Amino acid sequence: MRKMVDVTFGSSRYDDLVELRYKVLLAPLGLKFLDSFRDKEASYLHIGCIEQLDDKLVGGLILAPVDNDTIRMMQVAVDDKYQGEGVGREMVKYAEKRAKEAGYAHLVMYAMLSVIGFYEKLGFKQEGDIFEDNGITFAKMVKEL
């Protein structure tokens, strides 16, 4: 059984989340997690997915406020061993619920081209032009809550 949780910034669970994001998202691109990221993340909402059998963190994401109406979803990551089992879908749905509860009407994110189909299945629409950043191609994806 898995459960979705809000992760407190600076907690040991937050450290697990940083490690998971590094393993799934940054390391494959040869990038490092910089300590300067941490300060920015204090004001973000952190969400995790826990496998209750062994209390292990198997996925996570960040919600970062943009303005009063819009919140941005970032760093969506599922542990390699748990990908394709519905964890990503459950996490994004939980994130939508939390964003709505917090009063946001628009959810935005910048998805790598390889995962656009995942977000489309969850009701996101592509907006604007596809663009490149640091050699990676992204599309802006939006969803009304």
Between residue 89 and residue 128, which ones bind ligand COA under the rule CB under 6 A? 89, 111-112, 114-115, 117-118, 121
Between residue 64 and residue 93, which ones bind ligand COA under the rule CB under 6 A? 76-78, 83-89
Q: How far apart are CA 6 and CA 4, in angstroms?
A: 7
Q: Does 4 bind ligand COA (CB under 6 A)?
A: no
Q: Could you tell me how many residues of this chain bind ligand COA (CB under 6 A)? A: 19
Q: Write the interaction track for ligand COA spanning residues 23-42; mark x where CB under 6 A is met and - where it is not.
A: -xx-----------------
Q: DSSP letter string over 4-47?
A: EEEE-TTSHHHHHHHHHHIIIIIGGGT----HHHHHHHTTSEEE
Strand 106-112 versus strand 70-78 pairing type:
parallel
Quick one: 115 or 145, whose CB is closer to ligand COA? 115
Q: How far apart are CA 85 and CA 78, in angstroms?
A: 10
Binding site for ligand COA (CB under 6 A): 24-25, 76-78, 83-89, 111-112, 114-115, 117-118, 121
